[in-house]
Chains A and B, each alone.
Chain A
Amino acid sequence: MVIIECQGLSVTYPGGVQALKDVDLKIDDGEFVIVVGLSGAGKSTLLRTINRLVDPTGGRIKVDGRVINELSKKELKEYRSQVGMIFQNFNLVKRSSVLRNVLAGRLRGVPTWRTLLGLFPKEDVAEALSCLERVGIKEKAKSRADELSGGQQQRVGIARALAQDPKILLADEPVASLDPPTSHAVMKDLKRINEEDGITTIVNLHFIDLAKEYGEKIIGLREGKLVYEGLADEITEEEFEEIYGRSITAEDQLGAGGGANV
């Protein structure tokens, strides 16, 4: 069942740069999709149109049958609370505790007066803790976010997204700042959550070996255009080269390390 559908999606930034050109794609509920392409191909933009951090300048996006191009402020916040996002730079509040960071995911469900006083209901705190447990770092709940390693910080990011109880999970280059063993560990976590919870997951990567290893479906972008849509099992190196517009180099592969737990 299709959960995300893009019809003629285009994004032109105010400076005139056309980041996405007429993209048509369909993503099924529960799929684990990996988007590949060169830097600047439009991967980030594509992800951000789905939670409207970037607004489409042309075309439509339908999520769960609903067109999300025109949503009121309130509807937009409601919608965003169901789309979790994790970032390349983790985007955690460094000086705050891990728990406080994860609780940000519960903001939508708690009345504003309570969030402004820091009075999260106990159920929400418990939920946040269990999300931390699912990514294996519950014991770090009290630590300051900047005391954690890169891999642990990203896990906090994942826990924060999980705390939203989202339908869709967007990951923008989640492992670009991490070393190979940690990258594999994080990808494994994402995959596991996708399988356990059935959350539709879209991940931007520029490492093709990771894409092939973890992806279910692969989408290739090149200069803002969709140039490949197919299964991870079937994609060939030539097709990767098509997406990249050049031959594959060592920089496009992450390399060894899978399995280390950080």
Chain B
Amino acid sequence: MSEATSSKKPSRLVLIMGKIKGIIVIALIAAVYIWSARGVGFSLFEIIFELPSFFNLLWDMVPPNWAYFVRLIGPLLETFQTAITGTILGTLLAIPLILLAANNVNRNKPLYYVSKGFMNLARTIDPMLYAAILVAGVGLGAFAGMLALTFFSMAINAKLTSESLEAIDNGPLEALEACGGNKLEMIKYAVAPQIMPTFASYTLFVFEINIRASTVLGLVGAGGIGVNLNTSLNLFRYPNAAMVLLTTFVIVVLIDQLSNVLREELV
């Protein structure tokens, strides 16, 4: 019986150390929370206290100004266009980045790390900020929004797809290398067939993100119905703002449904 238990029981000291580590971790997390809560002025009291003014706002928005929709058609199309172009261009630009950021396709270590680094850096900034800077450079309008979304989509698509790429079956790649294929042929015949459905699915996912982002890009002047939201709020025309929100809601839901259907087809 004593032979069966060949492992020694951890000594009391180790157990205590483990408990202390646990307590320290919990204390640290609690500290972070308290510090954060103080920093943002978090008070449940205030939240509940101010709730009425929030509902007041909502009340002012009902009923929405249906007539306003006519003014929204143009900007709505612009929003849609921005999302489409941003997604497509971003996806195209993502392709080389994806190949460079996958260690089973790109054996060049420095280039690999640079690509991955670039990809991760580009992802840290919200497209709103890119859009705000671009507006200053290329002028107001959807062009700036498109550029911002392109850059952002490229980074996100590249990260998601390259991670999936690194997990594909490397066997076919080995086989193509063994029969004398070059890199491009390896990519077309061994990599692409395996990653295509995933890539397409991520592209649609990015499109869903972009359609949401493009509805608010107007807040920094980059086109779309965000501009209308901004002006209606500035003019305190809440029913108009409500119409914008309703429109936003409908288009996002529609695109989401479409995207889900397409993604089902891909699997």
Contacts and interface: CB of A to CB of B under 8 A. Distances in A.
Q: Do chains A and B touch in the complex (CB under 8 A)?
A: yes
Given A77-B180, A78-B180, A112-B182, A96 B175 contact: no
B179 A116 contact: no
B189 to A, nearest CB: 6
Interface in A147-161: 157, 160-161
A84 B181 CA distance: 12
B193 to A, nearest CB: 5
Size bracket of the B interface: 20 to 34
Interface string B161-185: 0000000010110111111111011
A245 B171 CA distance: 31
Nearest to B171: A91
A241 B133 CA distance: 75
Size bracket of the A interface: 20 to 34
Interface in A49-84: 51, 53, 76-84
Contacts of B184: 112, 116
Contact of B185 (A51, A76, A94, A116): A116
Contacts of A81: 179-180
Given A93-B189, A93-B194, A116-B184, A87 B174 contact: yes
A33 to B, nearest CB: 18
A94 B197 CA distance: 13
Given A115-B188, A116-B188, A91 B180 contact: no
B185 A115 contact: yes
B178 A51 contact: yes
A104 B193 contact: no
Contacts of A51: 178
B179 A105 contact: yes
A142 interface: no
A108 B180 CA distance: 6
A100 interface: yes
A240 B176 CA distance: 34
B185 A85 contact: no
B128 interface: no
Nearest to A109: B180
Nearest to A53: B178
A91 B172 CA distance: 5
Interface string B185-196: 100111001101
B197 to A, nearest CB: 8
Contacts of B172: 91-93
A76 B128 CA distance: 50
A192 interface: no
Contacts of A83: 178
A89 interface: yes
A95 B177 contact: no
A115 B179 CA distance: 14
Interface string A34-53: 00000000000000000101
A164 interface: yes
A9 to B, nearest CB: 19
Contact of A80 (B180, B189, B193): B180
Q: Pick the 5 closest A-B CB pairs, nearest first.
A: A81-B180, A91-B171, A80-B180, A91-B175, A85-B178
24 contacts: A53-B177, A76-B180, A79-B180, A80-B177, A80-B178, A80-B180, A81-B179, A81-B180, A82-B180, A83-B178, A89-B171, A90-B171, A91-B175, A93-B189, A93-B190, A93-B194, A95-B194, A104-B175, A107-B181, A107-B189, A108-B179, A115-B188, A157-B175, A160-B179
Interface of A: 51, 53, 76-85, 87, 89-96, 100, 104-105, 107-108, 112, 115-116, 157, 160-161, 164
Given A91-B172, A164-B180, 10 more contacts: A53-B174, A77-B182, A80-B177, A83-B178, A87-B174, A95-B196, A107-B176, A108-B180, A115-B189, A116-B185
